[in-house]
Amino acid sequence: MSRRPPERAPAVPFNRPYVTGREFDYIREAIDAHHLSGDGAFTRRCHEWLERQAGCRRALLTHSCTAALEMAAILTGIGPGDEVILPSFTFVSTANAFVLRGGVPVFVDIHEATLNIDETLIEAALTPRTRAIAVVHYAGVACEMDAILELGRRRGLPVVEDAAQGLLATYKGRPLGSLGQLGTLSFHETKNVMSGEGGALLINDEALVERAEIVREKGTDRSRFFRGQVDRYTWVDVGSSYLPSEVVAAFLWAQLERAEEITAMRRRIWSAYHEQLADLEGQGRLRRPRVPGDRTANGHLYHVILPDAGARARALRLLAERGINAIFHYVPLHSSPAGRRYGRCSGRLARTEDLAERLVRLPLWAGMSDDDVAQVVAAVRLAV
């Protein structure tokens, strides 16, 4: 009986989680403190760091960005038949969080330059059933938030920022996640700052803070009890168990301490790609990402747009043959079985469909060497 040879690891993987070296120290500290469930000392440190960084009213760690989005759906009052405006070019959690409450995702097309929701198309997608606007800051590059927030104010609609990829990125000097009524962050191992799995809800509307704490604590007023505001806690609202353990928070704290440094490393790699691929864009062989001048990106990912789907398939194959683990990104939600079942499109999503077929993401992780980058660039030159 023949055995399959073991698969060879790529010479340059797409992602490699970065570890600062303090993670085990802090996990041991949490163990020694005999507090391993949620909301211990490390959780509080993380909350305070996020509140300082974002300038939000309250930050709450969650076990994932998906969980934070589910909390946002509850806090914005989404119920059966309510519509939520969002891009189709996003991860499934952006839509699923609202669908779980009975909401209907209404998919809107994206900008060609940033791959973010096209703010000029949102108003036409609104109906009397619209209850919220959910934006996604793709690759840590901000949406056109002034126009979106003004529309939300004018139409009385809360804006939820899916800033899963956006920690330490800004729009006109303001941190992503701090602009809408609610913002969500991800600390998945593919993100700049990570805890394996993890997330956070940023609450920018003071009126939502108390209920957010209740929803996160299984619908109980447990947080008020621990602050001495009530003499016992009880079930007062809908909710679920959205807290991460103190072990996760301890790991995350080791990352947040070094968040600026980690982000600087990723920005350096992003810039190296951008500089070294400029001539290929000039030759029309690919298109590099765009970051508008009023925004700062965080080096979360580097993508290129190829001429057509065939060129993308060929490039991925040739890159893999050279040991470069480059990948595509989202299959548009509106074209998925669940997207067709639970949502609807506002107009044709031509740019979404076109760009999703032509996008390639290149390896990018803190700790990549100049040689790693050079190896990827050399392979791209042969593949496109």
Answer yes or no: are the C-beta atoms of 138 and 169 closer than 8 Å: no
SS3 of 198, please? coil
DSSP letter for 13, please. Answer: -
Q: What are phi and psi of 133, to 5 degrees?
A: -120, 125
The CATH code belonging to domain 259-383 is: 3.90.1150.10
Residue 14: per-residue pLDDT: 98
CA distance 214 to 264: 36
- Concatenate the DSSP letters of all residues of 59-128 into one string: EEEES-HHHHHHHHHHHTT--TT-EEEEESSS-HHHHHHHHTTT-EEEEE-B-TTT-SB-GGGHHHH--T
- CATH 3.90.1150.10 occupies which residues in the chain? 259-383
Residue 1: per-residue pLDDT: 47
CATH topology assigned to domain 23-256: Aspartate Aminotransferase; domain 2 (3.40.640)
Residue 8: per-residue pLDDT: 66
Answer yes or no: are the C-beta atoms of 120 and 144 closer than 8 Å: no
- Concatenate the DSSP letters of all residues of 231-263 into one string: SS--B-S---B-PPPHHHHHHHHHHHTTHHHHH
Answer yes or no: are the C-beta atoms of 49 and 183 closer than 8 Å: no
Amino acid at 291: V
H/E segment holding residue 157: none
- Concatenate the DSSP letters of all residues of 266-327 into one string: HHHHHHHHHHHTHHHHHTTS-B-----TTEE-----EEEE-SSHHHHHHHHHHHHHTTB--B
Answer yes or no: are the C-beta atoms of 79 and 203 closer than 8 Å: no
Low-confidence stretches of the chain (pLDDT beneath 70): 1-8
Residue 145: per-residue pLDDT: 98
Task: Tally the C-alpha atoms within 13 A of residue 241's C-alpha that lie toward its C-beta.
Answer: 4
Reading the block at residue 54, the tokens are 């974002």
- CATH 3.40.640.10 occupies which residues in the chain? 23-256
Classify strands 104-108 and 170-171 as parallel, antiparallel or unpaired. unpaired
